Structure 1
């Protein structure tokens, strides 16, 4: 996954408390998540919303009907519902995560947006990406795979053939292609074959 998408995921989920049934797994995930400089990203986002109309336009687009109708259509697909169910059964509260994202976006102050275009996150990401602790996160994940049975079980399930097939089915959806085209316009180029790959981590553990 492209680092720019990871940065925005960290931004919109700042303060997100996962409701995971296992306290040990919850602690593992929080420890990894806490490596991300979420507060710094939030402060940056507020500054860009105030000073960068293109950034404000991009956020406003994500608040708008066109984007929300696409998300609604995507979530209605059987393929995405099966993937969400798989993740929920893996102890990842995806539905709560998605609600948190929507809440964050809806609360963002886009009063500086002129809405003449979809806008772009490019300038924000140029500043934000160098702050993202990618190598630290990879190292922490490797450590958890080696030391935490519950985290290793989660990792094994997420890197399974079953998970891969579910993701492939979602990727082939027309709605997914449209979503990727939209976010590319916003400056987010998502490489579905890019890092981090669970398979790569697995090879290093073997």
Structure 2
């Protein structure tokens, strides 16, 4: 699951333009994405596809919740969160958003968890096909060029301190188990990490 991000040149914003907050910058990026269409695709698969129903049920179940809780209680993860929070990035809010999103999905039956991947990959391919990459790249470039808040976010996330903490978190046995669960569901965890490391300028 790879979305290629790149930086292209654009005109600078006039000096009279008021500064925007990081939250507004992120909302500008999200606004480019066809959220309603993405949700419609996900809900269609949940309503009709047993394999996706099984995956959603697993992500809403006790086993996955226990894995996430193990990572959340690890001192290294706590240190990573505190570091980001000290730089103005609330990772708990992001995790809660994802949790609410998964929790809000509804399956039409009580499934049993199986290791299936085909339908999930089909769903991801459909979502990828409707992402307006060119528009997304223009907005991202504008933020990189003109938003001091966004530039600061990138500096924090790409710093050596952040990299050390990220690598320590990824090395946790609990994190390794969580990543393997995602791989078993057909999610390209390694490709996503490679993309993120590349964007942040880290060799992997």
Q: TM-score, normalised by structure 2?
A: 0.80
Corresponding residue to 2:41 among 21, 36, 44: 44
For residues 87-138 of structure 1, give each alpha carbon's deviation from its aligned partner in whole angstroms, at most 9, with x where no partner exists.
2223223212222222222232122353151444222112112222345434
1:131 aligns with 2:127: no
Q: Does 1:91 align with 2:88?
A: yes
> Is residue 2:32 matched to residue 1:35?
yes
CA gap of 1:132–1:83, structure 2 versus 1, over 3 A, is farther
Structure 1 residues 176 and 32, CA gap change in structure 2 (3 angstroms): same
Superposed displacement of residue 180, structure 1:
1.1
Partners of 1:106 and 1:131 lie apart in 2 by 24
Q: CA deviation at 1:143?
A: 2.2
Please, which runs of 5 or more residues in structure 2 have no aligned partner?
A: 4-18
2:167 is the counterpart of 1:165: no
Partner of 1:53: 50
Distance in 2 separating the partners of 1:173 and 1:134: 33
**Could you say which residue in structure 1 is the equivalent of 2:201?**
199
Rounded Cα–Cα distance in structure 1 between residues aligned with 2:152 and 2:56: 36
Structural mapping, 1:70-89, within 5 Å: 70-89=67-86
For structure 1, the residue ranges without an aligned partner over 5 or more in a row are 5-21, 201-206
Paired residue total: 182
Counterpart in 1 of 2:181?
Answer: 182
C-alpha distance in structure 2 between counterparts of 1:31 and 1:132, whole Å: 15
Q: In structure 2, what is the Cα distance between the partners aligned to 1:116 and 1:171?
A: 25
Q: Contact (CA 8 Å) 1:50, 1:112: kept in 2 or not? A: no
> How far apart, in 2, do the equivalents of 1:139 and 1:113 lie?
43
Distance 1:146 1:30, change over 3 A: same
Aligned-pair Cα RMSD in Å: 2.1
Using the alignment, how far apart are the partners of 2:113 and 2:172 within structure 1? 29
Runs of 4+ residues deviating >4 angstroms = none
Equivalent in the alignment of 1:146 = 145
Distance 1:183 1:47 in 2: 21
2: CA distance between counterparts of 1:164 and 1:124?
A: 32
